[in-house]
Amino acid sequence: MPNRSTDALFQLVKSLEKSEKRNFKLFVKRNSASEDLKIIQLFDAMDKMTEYDEAVLLKKNKSISKQQLSNIKAHLYKQILSSLRIIKDEDNIDIQLHEQMDHARILYNKGLYLQSLKVLDRMKELAKAHNQLTYLQQVLFFEKKIEALFITRSMQNRADQLSVDSEEVNNQLTLVTKLSSLSLQLYSWYIQNGHARNAKDEKDLKEYMAVHLPEEAKTAKGFYERLYLYQSYCWYTFIRQDFLQYYRYTQKWVDLFDQQPAMIEVETGNYIKGMHNLMGAHFDLLNPKKLEETIEEFEKFAHHKVVVQNENNRILVFIYLYTSKINLNFLEGRFTEGLKLVPHIEEKLKEYELYLDRHRVLVFYYKIACLYFGSGNNEKAIKYLSKIINQKTSLRTDLQCYARLLHLIAHYELGNFELLEYLTKSVYRFMAKMESLSQVEEEMFKFLRHSFDIGAKALKPEFEKLLSKLKQYEGNPLETRAFAYLDVISWLESKINGVNVQDVIREKYKRRKNVLPDGE
């Protein structure tokens, strides 16, 4: 049975570029007396497969027995990694520092202590310039070892200086560890639960932040301390839907890289994530002008060699760039126009399926479903929403809830009344179980249950009553989530005026554009 997603060797083979495959074969043949190696046979066989199927693999490669396969796969995996290791990336700071440490150790083992210390000194300056605290710690540890074992007379007051430097680096690393753990825990909370659902979530988050945010973080000056501090506040404010503060901290995050451009190549993933969050903040604050400007900046970055030459970075840029492009279409009410992005997104989701986690794919499905729903194509919206609903995952319970609610509304739009009573009960139970029912959603369920018994002609006044009720909740922090995931107000206005949702949102965008001065 195909097992593409879980076979590590198959994933590694499929991740290789043409030049890397060529280099691997040269590496193996150069290090072997025989050219007819079984690992090359296995490599070629896997390279030709579109799905990993062990039975098919063994059937087509008779020289490899089932008993041998496990050992040959392990050997092939190791050889591929070894071949990749010798392709040097001269711009990779980790590789440069690792190589210098190797040189320092070789010189040390030769008894050339002063030469070793000179290499370590150069390494120390390079590590400082790129904020590489762990390498700096290694250098200081090695320097202390040399000074403790041998009289080098390399510098007066050497012991005092090394002790002070070590203490400083250790304190920095301790703070970085605390802040990176805080950031990760908050992000994990969001991935599991989405936005804060109620007053209890708000209280729990505030208490967690108060307990785990180190006091010394307020005066942090190092790159990584500030990076993880800004990240922590980003997740904290985003979960609480304090979008203005969320924007301010995402901007600080990106500004950190603008202040130290060399760190973009060192921490490319964090820079990409920061730009993604900045674009998301402009979307949450309904600022299409700023969102469009940041998308243009991000698209230029997509052609940078650090993206073009790195598969992981290319994938991340694709995810965040197209998420933001869809969001821009949402803000401007151009849902039908946004659908032109879908074929390319589908093509890339297929191309990158080995590397994309389920959460990112589900977010794309929800956004595509919203594009179809907003443009009036409810059948297509249901198709994409069903993909989310049918996924067995504990991630993003909020996304599961709103996919079900939009799925219900799409069936309502299609007049599938024979399904609606069952779906309404089912969705209500699901959301109640997840503790996700806000006042807005309670009012919507009341309306949907009530509307089954009302004729089509009498529905317009009921839509107007519901709209009047829901507008009272706009601006309520605990109700923001309902409006963020599903623009219920615009949907009701579209029903009252007999137009598509995108037409309502487009008119709102035009009014906002005419009222607000440039840049706001």
The string of pLDDT tens digits covering residues 147-185 is: 877 765 555 677 788 889 899 999 999 999 999 999 999
**Residues 105, 85: Cα–Cα separation, whole Å:** 19
**Residues 61, 232: Cα–Cα separation, whole Å:** 52
Tell me the range of 337-346, 466-475, 492-501 where mean pLDDT is highest: 337-346
**Residues 382, 103: Cα–Cα separation, whole Å:** 61
- CB atoms near residue 151 (< 10 Å): 7
pLDDT of 481: 60
Q: 187 versus 400: which is more confidently predicted?
A: 187
- CB atoms near residue 508 (< 10 Å): 18
Would you say residue 80 has pLDDT above 70? yes
Would you say residue 51 has pLDDT above 90? no
Would you say residue 503 has pLDDT above 80? yes
| Rounded average pLDDT over 108-120 | 89
DSSP annotation of 460 reads H
Q: 412 versus 340: which is more confidently predicted?
A: 340
pLDDT digits (tens, 9 = 90+) for 383-422: 999 998 888 766 567 788 888 888 888 888 888 878 877 8
| Rounded average pLDDT over 359-372 | 91
Tell me the range of 452-456, 459-463, 477-481 where mean pLDDT is highest: 459-463
- DSSP 3-state of 190: helix
pLDDT of 238: 92
Q: 517 versus 363: which is more confidently predicted?
A: 363
The per-residue pLDDT of the chain, averaged, comes to 85
With beta carbons less than 8 A apart as the criterion, state whether 130 and 108 touch: no
pLDDT of 154: 54
DSSP string, 107-174: HHHTT-HHHHHHHHHHHHHHHHHTT-HHHHHHHHHHHHHHHHHS----STTHHHHHHHHHHHHHHHHH
| Rounded average pLDDT over 48-64 | 85
pLDDT digits (tens, 9 = 90+) for 273-300: 999 999 999 998 989 999 999 999 999 9
Radius of gyration of the chain (CA): 28
Which region among 63-67, 115-119, 264-268, 375-379 has the lowest average model confidence (pLDDT)?
63-67
pLDDT of 181: 95
| Rounded average pLDDT over 339-359 | 90
pLDDT of 271: 96
pLDDT of 518: 47
Tell me the range of 141-145, 395-399, 493-497 where mean pLDDT is highest: 141-145
41 CB contacts (<8 Å, ≥6 apart)?
61, 63, 64
Q: 393 versus 230: which is more confidently predicted?
A: 230
Would you say residue 507 has pLDDT above 80? yes
- CB atoms near residue 236 (< 10 Å): 23
pLDDT of 515: 53
Q: Sign of the CA dihedral 477, 478, 484, 487?
A: negative
| Rounded average pLDDT over 292-312 | 92
Q: 335 versus 457: which is more confidently predicted?
A: 335
| Rounded average pLDDT over 252-270 | 94
Residue spans per domain, the chain: 8-85, 93-155
